[in-house]
Structure 1
Amino acid sequence: MKKRIALTGATGFIGGHLLEELLSNGYYVNAITRKPQQARKNVRWIEGNIENKEALSKLLEEVDVVINVAGLVKAKTQREFIAANSHPVLNLANAVKASHKNPHFIQVSSLVARKKNISNYATSKHQGEMHLKNNNLGIKWTIVRPPGVYGPNDNETLKIFRALSWRITFSPSNSAFRVSWIHVEDLVKAISCLMENSEYYNKTVELDDGNKNGYSYKEFYNTAAKILTLKPLHITLPKFILKILGHTNDLLSSIIGYTPMVSAMKVNEMCHPDWVCQNNAEEQVTGWTPKYNLEKGLKETLDWYKKNGYM
């Protein structure tokens, strides 16, 4: 009999792809949602949030695996990040401990968690991990640290493609900067493999597309530009210029009330030289090999945007 999976973040970018992956493999899914959703075969939608004990209890009913994908990548304050990325992990972990089936808990974190003081986002993700690592809960957990994730239905990659139409790209002036990337389909297939194998209990796994040295900003932009058949001018900016931009966005945010993507702390993340995954992804996950290199993945993503009328 196929397992039942509890899933948070099922209406988001990564969670939505993971839901499709689980259903295609015949799993039953309990998925928590804040808004009513259309009925789907083998999906039990549970309205509420992880702070609600009744909803949390229903989410974990008869499940074999709990996968937490929900969280925020943008927020105005550290308190908002902690509330979204740290507290829910502890709530879920305690609920898992209380469950009679003792399900395997998979926490989808972020590569930035390894530099906990670089930003409020990184701090919140690190705290979420520590709830699992430091507490004597006696549960089976696996932490997944993706780097940059892209693919169909990703709004952030869409912004990059649209910005390239101006034929100018920007990046920090630090030439040593490298970052890993992974296509969302590769990520969700890896998670599916992880949840079926006990060798990953109480381990942290960093997943990327198999390019061991990652990519520079310029390499990423040039790959995207090649797909668009454009030749953009690439401009490098000193960190202090980017910091001015970040602080200006923070000030406008406090006045207008919007949540900026490029904040002063996000600039700290952007200027950190090493966001390359530290382990060999293919060796880390038995039965999984990434399907997409950067060019293939970005081309498929662009084709999806065009097909769905975004470009």
Structure 2
Amino acid sequence: MKQRVLITGASGFVGFHLIEAALKAGYEVYAAVRKSSKVNHLKDLDIQYAYTNFNSVEALQEEIEQNKYDHIIHAAGVTKANSASEYDAVNTTYTVNLAKAAVASKRIQKFVFVSSLAAVGPLPSIEGCLNEESTQAPVTAYGQSKKRAEEALKNIEGLNYVILRPTAVYGPRDKDILIVLKQFANRFEPYIAKMDQHLSFIYVKDLAQACVLGLSHGQREAYLLSDGKRYDRYEMANITKRLLNISTFRIHLPLPVVKVIAQMAESVSRVTKKASALNVEKLNELTAANWICSIDKARQELEFSPKYDLEKGLEETLTWYKANKWL
């Protein structure tokens, strides 16, 4: 009999790929979505839907018991919000509620939490790399909300968890990296100031595979995830230009100018109540010197072996964007 896994955030970019990976691994999948979620892209997948109430531990426990889940991959969260309290409400409180319900149900064998490298924070210079022993010093409210969720999970007795901290995730269906790739495709290549930066990336299919591996590997541990490589700040553009056979106009915008743009975006967000991808705080991440992380622990304990480097991942991503008329 197949084991059942609840995947939260199932209608999102990462969620789609999580579902595909879990189905391929032989799990029976319940996809947690909102009734307002757009799920047309999931219609051909062999899944059941769950309309999960993250506000109530009791309701969550009842759902777990009624649907007889064996595992949970918790990928639901917000990456853009207008306040720290909004981040905490979803990224921290919802995570804690679900984890408490998992323990109370006495059914859940493994709780895989998709956190973020933002919960650790960057290094101040291009030397070295982050690992699981690095001091957690997030530089945004988003990263702080993920860190608080992690800390809460570690204090829940009886919870068999695996915490995954992926670096920047990209791939088909992602709308954030798409913004950057569209600029490159339009032959415009902007950067914030002139500085040395070392960046890391993970292709969404590799992240999905790590999540599925977390269902059967690791116990009450956290793991950093990337493709295992180090990139300078120009590498994504260079690869994209090569794959699209184009040239671009490269410009370095002064940081004070970008701050003004970010402040304007924040003002619009306050009026529209719609969070912006760019704000003043986000600049702390965008201008950080070093986001390189070691994946040695994930390789050893999760048997994680990324299949995509940035070039291979971007090639597949750009092909999908063009085929689906996103680019």
TM-score (norm 2): 0.86
Query: Which residue of 38, 41, 47 maps to 1:43?
Result: 47
Q: Closer, same or farther in 2 for the Cα pair 1:222/1:271, shift >3 Å?
A: same
**Which of the pair has the greater relative contact order for Cα pairs under 8 Å at 6+ separation?**
2
How many angstroms apart in 1 are the aligned matches of 2:194 and 2:145? Answer: 26
SS at match of 1:86: helix
In structure 1, what is the equivalent of residue 22 of structure 2?
22
Gaps of 5+ in 1: none
In structure 1, what is the equivalent of residue 247 of structure 2?
231
Query: Which residue of 210, 233, 247 maps to 2:228?
Result: 210
1:93-104 pair list within 5 angstroms: 93-104=99-110
How many angstroms apart in 2 are the aligned matches of 1:165 and 1:176? Answer: 24
1:31-87, Cα deviation, whole Å (9 max, x unpaired): 221127577775231124311443552145422211100001111111111111110
1:216-248, Cα deviation, whole Å (9 max, x unpaired): 221111111211112213222343332222122
SS at match of 2:172: coil
Do the aligned partners of 1:178 and 1:275 also contact (CA within 8 Å) in 2? yes
Q: Closer, same or farther in 2 for the Cα pair 1:256/1:40, shift >3 Å?
A: closer
SS at match of 2:231: coil
Q: Closer, same or farther in 2 for the Cα pair 1:302/1:162, shift >3 Å?
A: same
Query: Which residue of 120, 123, 127 maps to 2:144?
Result: 123
Gaps of 5+ in 2: 122-136
1:137-216 pair list within 5 angstroms: 137-173=157-193, 175-197=195-217, 200-211=218-229, 214-216=230-232
SS at match of 1:265: coil
Q: Does 1:252 align with 2:268?
A: yes
How many angstroms apart in 2 are the aligned matches of 1:300 and 1:261? Answer: 24
How many angstroms apart in 2 are the aligned matches of 1:290 and 1:68? Answer: 21
Q: Closer, same or farther in 2 for the Cα pair 1:59/1:13, shift >3 Å?
A: farther
Do the aligned partners of 2:35 and 2:51 also contact (CA within 8 Å) in 1? yes
Do the aligned partners of 2:9 and 2:74 also contact (CA within 8 Å) in 1? yes
The Cα shift of 1:101 comes to: 2.3
SS at match of 1:264: coil
Do the aligned partners of 1:247 and 1:264 also contact (CA within 8 Å) in 2? yes
Q: Closer, same or farther in 2 for the Cα pair 1:232/1:56, shift >3 Å?
A: farther
In structure 2, what is the equivalent of residue 81 of structure 1?
87
How many angstroms apart in 2 are the aligned matches of 1:179 and 1:299? Answer: 18
Identity of paired residues, percent?
Answer: 32
Q: Closer, same or farther in 2 for the Cα pair 1:40/1:28, shift >3 Å?
A: farther
How many angstroms apart in 2 are the aligned matches of 1:89 and 1:50? Answer: 8
How many angstroms apart in 2 are the aligned matches of 1:136 and 1:34? Answer: 27
In structure 2, what is the equivalent of residue 5 of structure 1?
5
- Runs of 4+ in structure 1 off by over 6 angstroms are 38-41
In structure 2, what is the equivalent of residue 57 of structure 1?
62
1:176-230, Cα deviation, whole Å (9 max, x unpaired): 3222101111111121112112xx111111111121xx22221111111211112
How many angstroms apart in 2 are the aligned matches of 1:165 and 1:45? Answer: 37
Moved more, 219-228 or 168-177: 168-177
1:75-126, Cα deviation, whole Å (9 max, x unpaired): 1111111111110111011111102224211110010001344111111111
Moved more, 181-190 or 59-68: 59-68
Letter aligned with residue 222 of structure 2: T
SS at match of 2:293: coil
How many angstroms apart in 2 are the aligned matches of 1:165 and 1:40? Answer: 31
1:113-169, Cα deviation, whole Å (9 max, x unpaired): 013441111111111111112x14221111000111111111122222211133221
How many angstroms apart in 2 are the aligned matches of 1:108 and 1:252? Answer: 30
SS at match of 2:31: strand
Moved more, 101-110 or 168-177: 168-177
In structure 1, what is the equivalent of residue 309 of structure 2?
293
How many angstroms apart in 2 are the aligned matches of 1:236 and 1:227? Answer: 23
How many angstroms apart in 1 are the aligned matches of 2:253 and 2:210? Answer: 36
How many angstroms apart in 2 are the aligned matches of 1:303 and 1:12? Answer: 20
How many angstroms apart in 1 are the aligned matches of 2:326 and 2:4? Answer: 35
Do the aligned partners of 1:107 and 1:142 also contact (CA within 8 Å) in 2? yes
Letter aligned with residue 251 of structure 1: S
